[in-house]
Amino acid sequence: MVEFFDAEEGGPLRLELRSVDGRDFHLLRKIGFCSRHYEECFVVPADLRRFTTDLASVPALFTWLVPKSGDFLPAAVLHDAITRPGAFIGPALGRDGEPFDRAEADLVFREAMIGLGTGRVRAWLMWAAVTLTTMWHSRRLLTRILLVGVLAAIVVLGTLATLDLLDVWDVLPWMGEHVWWRELLQGGVGAVGIPVLLGLTWGRHWRAGVITGVALALLLHVTVVLCGLVLAYRGVERVVSGPANRDGVRTRDRDAVGGE
């Protein structure tokens, strides 16, 4: 059975958090999670010295698609703990008999989200997103090259496809010179097929590569628009409220109000 539980008194999960600074949180009550793939359950102690969580680590640009909090919140807290040595009690070995690592933690995260009732599309998207971090933390040069190379290739090809569709630059052979709806259709096929092929180069992480590649290709234009809006907002905020410190806090108005 896949379920979260109250690791202190038993029974249903009680997730109790205390804000540190509005972005990071301490766990006030230890939680437990049982996976169908491990005999031993995971337990996250309420140790204020060992562990803080930032809830779901979602970039601001994508919170319209995946919010920072939701039905998946216990899974996000669990994932933050089991990716940090010493922050949890549980299985020492993964499903393949090797030491429990970040890739195993990512799979537990996906399983926990689905067990909480998170939709499978969102659960797999979030799993693919954390896999990017896992690949980067692997410290293997080839893995990092494949990670950055595939994402960069999709951005470049998506940009060229857009220019081709607008008849600015005819460079991609699968677009061709056709009526706009046919070019749009062929571009859509390319936006799915090419990322799938590129994602397969990620080896053991190929599923995450396929999901990430297709999502990036389909959301590229939305992301560009949102980047522009965010940069515009930050520019206006800087002019109106002054620069932010290293913690992202704009101190000019705060200090002025505090001095009144």
Tens of pLDDT, residue by residue over 168-202, are: 777 777 766 767 667 778 878 888 999 999 999 99
Which tokens go with 47?
Answer: 């140790």
Of 13-17, 67-71, 125-129, 205-209, minimum mean pLDDT range: 67-71
**56 has a pLDDT exceeding 60:** yes
- Percent of the chain whose pLDDT exceeds 90: 56
Give 259's pLDDT tier (boundaries 50, 70, 90).
Answer: very low
**260 has a pLDDT exceeding 60:** no
Of 44-53, 141-150, 178-187, 191-200, minimum mean pLDDT range: 178-187
Q: Residue 179 pairs with which residues in a beta bridge?
A: none
**147 has a pLDDT exceeding 90:** yes
Per-residue model confidence (pLDDT) at position 170? 79
More confident residue, 213 or 243: 213
Task: Report how far apart, in Å, the C-alpha atoms of 120 and of each of 99, 112, 117, 124 are.
Answer: 27, 11, 8, 6
Per-residue model confidence (pLDDT) at position 48? 66
**139 has a pLDDT exceeding 60:** yes
**157 has a pLDDT exceeding 60:** yes
Of 31-35, 59-63, 115-119, 203-207, minimum mean pLDDT range: 59-63
Per-residue model confidence (pLDDT) at position 2? 84
Query: pLDDT digits over 79-113, tens only?
Result: 999 998 888 999 988 888 888 999 999 999 999 99
Q: How many residues does the chain have?
A: 260
Position 56, amino acid: A
